[in-house]
Amino acid sequence: MEQINREFKAVVQDLTHIYIGAQMSVEEMISYEDIPFKVKAVFNKYFSSEDKRNRPIGEILGNVKKEDFEYQVMNQLKLKFKVGIYSIKGAKEIYKSKTMNPEEFLSLHSSQDKYFDEEVVFNKLALMAFST
């Protein structure tokens, strides 16, 4: 399991998106050089309190409620979440990655399904338009 956690602590960017490993803690993310300052500022302001600093980003975002202001922030930023979902097919356990919007992500976190948070995907255009 430790090997899987390390694999999902990376940061990758392309022309339109920023992919942040969901197993990275807020503290690790803020100290990471390759993450744009605006992403750090958004997390620092809306999603991270002192007691959440060492928890994985995927866990923090998965515990947001639809009534919370943070849910509106997630929608405004057009966040996407890449999640690995375990399912049973016959006698085999299958691991399949799926990209979800905030509503699907939160419903998965409140379900009893077996899953693993892989990445949080930021849309660069939505991030640029977002004002803190």
Distance CA 63, CA 58 (A): 9
First to last CA, the chain: 36
Q: Give the domain CATH number at 55.
A: 3.30.465.10
Looking at residue 58, what is its pLDDT? 92
Residue range 21-61, pLDDT digits in tens: 999 998 999 898 889 999 999 988 998 877 888 899 999 99
* 50 Cβ neighbours under 8 A, 6+ residues apart: none
Domain hosting 98: range is 2-129
Number of domains in the chain: 1
Residue range 68-110, pLDDT digits in tens: 999 999 999 999 999 999 888 888 888 899 999 999 999 998 8
pTM of the predicted structure, to 2 decimals:
0.86
Looking at residue 132, what is its pLDDT? 64
